[in-house]
Amino acid sequence: MSADQGTTTEAGFGLEPTSDVREMRDWVHEFARDVVRPAAAEWDEREETPWPIIEQAAKIGLYSLDFFAQQSLDPTGLGLVVAFEELFWGDAGIGLSLVGTGLAAASLAGSGTPEQVGEWLPQMFGTPGDVKLAAFCSSEPDAGSDVGAIRTRAVYHEATDEWVLNGTKTWATNGGIADVHIVVASVDPALGSRGQATFIVPPGTAGLSQGQKFRKLGIRASHTAEVVLDDVRVPGRCLVGGKDRLDARLARLASGHSGGEQAAMKTFESTRPAVAAMAVGVARAALEYAADYAATRTQFGRPIGQNQGVAFMLADMQAAVDAARLLTWRAAWMARTGRPFEHAEGSVAKLFAGEMAVKVTEQAIQILGGNGYTRDYPVERWHRDAKIFTIFEGTSEIQRLLIGRAVTGLDVR
């Protein structure tokens, strides 16, 4: 392997994060340990956005555009996934409140023009004295896994150079409480997902309102709601990527050429390692807690961890967490160094880590016995939280579909 392929050591292979990443990891871990975790049970019960914690994170620069930009640009690709593992080790609900904006920002950074990125990304985060959130709104009541079924319409009015958006979005993280909403809408319904475009809805735009807020099984500190778009008018410059690019794409499609759908799919693939890292963080929390418990809880005159039945469970949990992290790091490194996901490596990481987190947190409850089933111990919350990783950013079934297609080369349905 040559040096320009992004290898980290002379020998051509290494798994040790750089000193920059290690330093950042320790700093995020400190915040997760001292601020996030002690507040986790309270915000889970309150089912509200933990604004004071977001403000605290903003004050130290952890909730900031700078932090997200710097970690996304880490040349090894590990910056964001290492940060997310630590934050979600602290708590998944608060963690998602802190990184939900980053996911919306990533979608704009991925396909916006330099002017759009410069204008809107800072507004998504606000300032330490006046923090703001952003939301990414793609899912709809009848368009979840099937993103091609999106019904929200965007119609261009040439006379005023405005787009008018109408429709209902659902499941939007930070939906309605965000300042900037990024909305996926159809500009040409006949073209399905290829006829879609993404729009920036600026703060305070008339016609955008929050619908119902969902009461969830887990990640309850993270706000999830419907977003209603009723004649929402946004200026032409709010079409992500610009009108020339959209017109060129639609013209290519009209002449029977590919409209670049594959490129959009690759963008989705590259954000999945971040979600896998969240799952690894929750599972690691449960593993560590269960291992400590097994070493101190005594039954039959010895620590329960001295029984193979318990120790082997912990061994399986350790192997699963390690495997998920390695898949996550591989996918993050591949995405950052421009390697194509020929075998859907992003989906592989997300699928494995999501299902692993559900299993490992369930095993942790088992190791804690009756205590594990109560809200006096955090493992039941971690189990409730872990389930989301098999659902959002593409369900496990959709990941299997994508991996199945990559493996077989067939149009698996």
Ligand X SMILES: Cc1cc2nc3c(=O)[nH]c(=O)nc-3n(C[C@H](O)[C@H](O)[C@H](O)COP(=O)(O)OP(=O)(O)OC[C@H]3O[C@@H](n4cnc5c(N)ncnc54)[C@H](O)[C@@H]3O)c2cc1C
For 223, other C-beta atoms within 10 Å of its C-beta total 27
Distances in whole angstroms, Cα of residue 58 to Cα of each of 4, 47, 51, 154 = 36, 21, 10, 34
Q: Of the candidates 213, 401, 404, 405, which one interacts with ligand X according to CB under 6 A?
A: 401
* CA 292 to chain centroid: 29
The residue (of 78 and 103) whose beta carbon lies closer to ligand X is: 103
Q: At 288, which amino acid appears?
A: E
Eight-class DSSP state of 239: B
Say whether 393 is catalytic.
yes
Number of Cβ atoms within 10 Å of the Cβ of 157: 11
Contact 332, 78 (CB under 8 A): yes
One of 31, 88, 136, 199 touching ligand X (CB under 6 A) = 136
Main-chain dihedrals φ then ψ at residue 189, nearest 5 degrees: -55, -30
Angle at 389 between CA 74 and CA 72, to 5 degrees: 10
CA 248, distance to chain mean position in Å, is 30
Residue span binding ligand X (CB under 6 A) among the ranges 62-70, 230-238, 292-300, 390-398? 390-398
Token pair of 224, please?
């999830």
Q: Which of residues 173-232 bind ligand X (CB under 6 A)?
A: 173, 216, 219, 224
Position 171 contacts ligand X (CB under 6 A): yes
Nearer to ligand X, 136 or 163 (CB): 136
Query: CB of 9: closest distance to ligand X in angstroms?
Result: 38
> Is residue 401 classed exposed, middle or buried when 0-12, 13-18 and 19+ CB atoms within 10 A define those classes?
middle
Residue 149 binds ligand X (CB under 6 A): no
**Site for ligand X (CB under 6 A): which residue of 5, 127, 145, 209?**
145
CA–CA dist 379, 225 (Å, integer):
26
Q: Minimum distance between the CB of residue 2 and ligand X, rounded to whole angstroms?
A: 39
> Of the ranges 42-50, 87-95, 329-337, 391-399, which one interacts with ligand X (CB under 6 A)?
391-399
Applying CB under 6 A, which part among 14-22, 166-174, 330-338, 359-367 lies near ligand X? 166-174
Output the residue with the shortest Cβ distance to ligand X: 144
Site membership for ligand X, residue 6 (CB under 6 A) = no
- Report the residue from 71, 76, 107, 139 that binds ligand X according to the rule CB under 6 A: 139
Options 85, 86, 226, 393, the catalytic residue? 393
In the complex, which residues of this chain contact ligand X (CB under 6 A)?
Answer: 136-139, 144-145, 171-173, 216, 219, 224, 388, 391-395, 397-398, 401
Residues classed as catalytic: 393
